[in-house]
Structure 1
Amino acid sequence: MPSALRHLLGAAIGLLAAPVAFYVTEAGARALRAALAGFVPGWTGLACLSAVAVLGAALTCWPGLSPLAAACCGVPLAVVGALFATEPEVATALARGLPYPPILPDPGEPAGAVAGLTGLYVLLGGLLTVSAARLWWRRES
């Protein structure tokens, strides 16, 4: 596959994976919060966050896929997480405009608020971005 096509495909896959990672991370954070409040095991939260970890590993380690896949997924998540960390009121107001996926119940909170305020987006986005930069640097040298 030509290099330009591989990079374009990687960027498209990464951008398509970003909303999936966003909403599944939020579902995992909400499930863990509910489990903590109810003093019960948080298996649903663990499953959701494990699915996001598998998605991140696939974006990073898939043979033949450009490191842009991980970067195009990680950078938007890191930016959202940084916005929640620095300006939580602004981020929450912006999140109120996001649609909530139909597979998850709408709890009345803005989409992304729990994972954003707990720092999960910064962590996930940062790890994906650093892994993409590391892969890019390794391939260049």
Structure 2
Amino acid sequence: MNIHGGIARRQRGITLLGFIIVMAVVGVFAYIGFKLFPMYQEYYAVKTALKGLANEPGIATTDPARIQQMFLRRLDMSYAQNIKKEHIKIERGDAGWVMTVQYEVRRPMIANLDVIGKFGAVQNLSRSGNAD
């Protein structure tokens, strides 16, 4: 019995060492998330810009150099920095153009370890003006 007249109970819970370990694991995952999030945010901007181009009136008859310029301008508004002209390929398709964007992003992670993301997106730019 304890001094309050009740039966002594064993306390349960996390120890300070256990709490520190859990916080360290959470911190590592948060750090990795902060490193990866901008890469995927940029990829989402690429996909959005491609869909926006596909909905442009008359895109299927537009000159490929002009399409590339329009695409890069849309990316500039999204602060996408890793996509260059050499990552963009525009080929003639059945009903217009097929635009392919393939690029790689390398970010330093911890010390001499880097994370590399390879991204690719394809969009039909057709005469109908509908995004595929």
TM-score higher than 0.5 here?
A: no
Compare CA radii of gyration and give the structure with the larger one: 2
TM-score range (shorter-chain normalised) is 0.3 to 0.5
RCO higher in structure (CA 8 A, sep ≥6): 1
Structure number with higher strand proportion? 2
TM-score (norm 2): 0.33
